[in-house]
Amino acid sequence: MQFSQNITDNKATITLEGEIDLEKTEELREQAMQCLDNNQELEFGMSKVEYIDSSTVSVMIELHQKAEEDSKLFTINNPSEQVSSVLKMAKLFEFFKIT
């Protein structure tokens, strides 16, 4: 997994690439939570993500719930076919705001 972060106008964007699995989700979770704490919006750019597992989905659900509790926004931008497939199989594609 590789990721880069950009913050503009109180919106944090984390652009993700590669495979995101249990080994990498804690690092992603910590970074994403910090971004959400310090901004009104957090966006995951996921067009270059090749693989996610249930631990990644769990982090995304946690971020979505925290954003709602704090009256903030968590979005997924341009998910890859692999990400979309996992979210649809888990019946979560409609749960998240996907742009």
Average pLDDT over residues 51-66: 97
Task: Assign a CATH topology to domain 2-98.
Answer: Transcription Regulator spoIIAA (3.30.750)
pTM of the model as a whole:
0.94
Average pLDDT over residues 62-90: 97
Residue-wise pLDDT tens digits, 21-56: 999 999 999 999 999 999 999 999 999 999 999 999
Residues with Cβ within 8 Å of 47's Cβ and at least 6 positions away in sequence, in order, are 77, 78, 79, 80
Residue 73 confidence class, pLDDT cut points 50, 70, 90: very high
How do the domains of the chain map onto residue ranges?
2-98
Helices (H) and strands (E) in the chain, counts: 3, 5
